[in-house]
Amino acid sequence: QGCLYLVPTPIGNLDDMSMRAIQTLKEVDLIAAEDTRNTQKLLNHFAIHTKQISFHEHNTQQRLPELLQKLQAGYNLAQVSDAGMPSISDPGQELVAACVQKQIPVVPLPGPNAALTALIASGLVPQPFYFYGFLPRKSKLRQKALQQLSQLTETFILYESPFRVKKTVALLSEYLGSTRQIVLARELTKVHEAFLRGTLAQVQEYFANNEPRGEYVLIVAGASDSVTISQPADVQLLELVKQQVA
């Protein structure tokens, strides 16, 4: 029987693709990709000629039996998402669970992940930490999640789209209090990588004058975290970071 390889892909910088990731994608019989067109660009860049099959949240149930059948027939499969680690706020978990159940070997490769990359540069207490991912879109569920998160004593991590990040910071301020520390990691590994550090009130103020642009990870200090960030919680900090990098 075959094997399922979980292959992380870059979250912005193609140089973060590991040699093992490239080799694995070259050697497997088939790549199950969240978006085959997106992944094709990556494959072209690294001269990988392996065939793909689409596997995303809308066809998971349909595709599962087919993928399991291939694995059981001896084919090796790699699973990739659009960026970062499969299964982390991305498709993958159902396939892994099905493989575990059927005793099909699952081999995870380490690699790029936005949450951990943001966490290690946050300056906030890195462990224990709590990874939440995206807040629910439905307002009732979102409220419940925010209430639960407000009780957490651990540093916690949220993903958010650029279109909702401003609103999410406002909600966090409402539920957690405006003095809670937060670090926003923007466009990690990309040209416009920057960190915005401060209280929720300061970040809200920053967004009142600067529209969010790009992808963000939100690292929020836990309720018990008395550590203050040593850098100035300056709303101009994003600009400063950019200048340093340039």
CA dihedral 203, 216, 172, 144 (to 10 degrees): 170
Angle at 216 between CA 120 and CA 141, to 5 degrees: 105
Q: Given candidates 4, 172, 185, 200, which one binds ligand SAM under the rule CB under 6 A?
A: 185
To the nearest whole angstrom, how small is the minimum distance from the Cβ of residue 127 to ligand SAM? 18
How many whole angstroms from its chain centre is CA 114?
A: 4
Cβ proximity to ligand SAM, 80 vs 200, nearer residue = 80
Q: Given candidates 38, 50, 89, 178, which one binds ligand SAM under the rule CB under 6 A?
A: 89
With binding defined as CB under 6 A, does residue 113 bind ligand SAM? yes
Cβ proximity to ligand SAM, 2 vs 241, nearer residue = 241
With binding defined as CB under 6 A, does residue 154 bind ligand SAM? no
197-236 positions binding ligand SAM, by CB under 6 A: 215-217
* Helices 60-72 & 93-101 angle (0-180, nearest 10): 40
Strand 30-33, strand 52-54: pairing: parallel
Total residues at interface with ligand SAM (CB under 6 A): 23
Q: Given candidates 88, 109, 223, 233, which one binds ligand SAM under the rule CB under 6 A?
A: 88
Contact 153, 222 (CB under 8 A): yes
- Listed in sequence order, the residues at least 6 apart from 161 whose beta carbon sits closer than 8 Å to its beta carbon are 134, 215
Cβ proximity to ligand SAM, 89 vs 150, nearer residue = 89
